[in-house]
Amino acid sequence: MLLSRQNAQRIVQELNDVISHKINMMDDAGIIVASSDPERVGEYHEGAGRILKLGKKELIVHRDGEYDGCKEGVNYPIVIQGQTIGVIGITGPHREAVKYGQIIQRITGILLREMLIKEQKLLDENIRNRYAEEWMKQDDILINQEFVERGRAIRIDITLPRRVVAFAVLHEGNGMFNIDSLESAEKALQQLRQRVKEREPDSIYLQTASGLVCAVPDRSDEQMRQFVRRLKESVSKDGAIRVAAGIDDACYPYPQIRTAEKQASKALQVCLRNEKKDICFYHDLGLEIFLDEVSDLSKAEYVRRIFKDYEKEELSEAICLLEIFYECRGSLGRTSERMHIHKNTLQYKLLKIRDRTGYDPRSLKDTSMFYIAAYFYREIRRIL
């Protein structure tokens, strides 16, 4: 068991909040790895060396220089699980320093044990996350009995029937969802993971750079919808936080979990492009299934070809109108109500788009062209 410099320095800072004396912490080689006096870090502390070598329970230094690299004070071993991993020292008049000795020794042990427990939990989480990533993401991993047993050794049973849901947590700003407030989004993501663990202890989750992928026990589509909605409500209480979720098509055998994960992730991407939709099933997708395969440059070129001479603001307004028009299934009455404009004004705007582009938004043969352009625009408007 090693005493890391990072943990040692954190403990020294904590102890300095308790007493005003300078504190030193030495590793199992007697080297000062953390100190209230930064200039002493890296020096050899002979007093610590004697404690480590001779197994002393206390070493008092009566004057500066009595031992190589030592100042007046008192030093105690740091013992964790029966193993001496370092030494804690208090600098100052030894008669005064000794009063704090055993208290500081105990506090050090408690703080260090807490840190080691947290580190072990983090290590366990990383191992489980890595295993989940291999299972759900990596196509070159063979899902055989050996792989199943490796999971059971870390308390993961992939053989249970499961559904997959992919989450993303974003922070809302200036009318658009972004990740400018990374800290609040990260906190919400951690809360989401904790809620999944509490409500579905048998779930397997994979935390990615941008979200969370969960394989939860099998249930119907409606049960999945309710499960996800409850999770969203428990996390997105702050109006600035948006939780979006994509759900797979069905329960797949565990060796085919990657199919379910890809479906859930693709459904999630559709949610992220549509601010009005926060939960989407893969079987709800239409053209989106293959439109994501097109490169951004090709998407931008497609949009420019249709809206040739449009300025950025004009293009944004036209796309917004078309999206509402198609959401209202081409109804002039419903669209004009949604946009709070007269029906004649709406007809004029649609005719203007027809005249400028050469394509009619109300024509059945041109509808898919405008629908695709609007879909692409939401992804690549930053490069137009």
Domains of the chain, with CATH numbers? 5-114 (3.30.450.20), 160-290 (3.30.70.270), 294-383 (1.10.10.2840)
Please report which confidence band the pLDDT of residue 1 belongs to, taking 50, 70 and 90 as the band edges: low
- Whether pLDDT at 382 is above 80: no
Contacts of 254 (CB under 8 A, 6+ apart): 143, 148, 158, 159, 160, 161, 162
- Tell me the per-residue pLDDT of 103-159, one tens digit each, with 9 for 90 and over: 888 888 888 888 888 888 888 999 999 999 999 999 888 999 999 999 999 999 999
Q: Running DSSP on this structure, what letter comes out for residue 39?
A: G
- Whether pLDDT at 3 is above 90: no
Q: Running DSSP on this structure, what letter comes out for residue 251?
A: P
Judge contact between 232 and 243, C-beta under 8 A.
Answer: yes
Please report which confidence band the pLDDT of residue 175 belongs to, taking 50, 70 and 90 as the band edges: very low
How much is the average pLDDT of 147-175?
A: 87
Judge contact between 71 and 59, C-beta under 8 A.
Answer: no
d(CA 96, CA 74): 9
- Residue-averaged pLDDT of the chain: 88
Judge contact between 359 and 351, C-beta under 8 A.
Answer: no
How far, in Å, are 25, 105, 224 from residue 119 at the CA level? 19, 21, 34
The CB density around residue 94, as the number of other CB atoms within 10 Å, is 16
Give CA torsion, residues 336, 342, 345, 349, to 10 deg: -10
Q: What are phi and psi of 33, to 5 degrees?
A: -105, -15
Confidence (pLDDT) at 176 = 43
pTM greater than 0.95 (yes/no): no
d(CA 343, CA 75): 86
Greater confidence (123 vs 171) lies with 123
d(CA 34, CA 23): 8
d(CA 184, CA 130): 25
How far, in Å, are 223, 227, 249, 250, 365 from residue 220 at the CA level? 5, 10, 10, 8, 37
CA 252-295-207 angle, 5° bins: 45
- Angle separating helix axes 364-380 and 296-306, nearest 10 degrees: 130
Confidence (pLDDT) at 133 = 94
In the chain, % of residues over pLDDT 70: 95
CA neighbor of 170 nearest in space, from 220, 200, 210: 210
Please report which confidence band the pLDDT of residue 10 belongs to, taking 50, 70 and 90 as the band edges: confident
How much is the average pLDDT of 343-359?
A: 93
Q: What are phi and psi of 94, to 5 degrees?
A: -65, -30
- Tell me the per-residue pLDDT of 53-92, one tens digit each, with 9 for 90 and over: 999 999 999 999 999 999 999 999 998 888 899 999 999 8
How much is the average pLDDT of 5-20?
A: 85
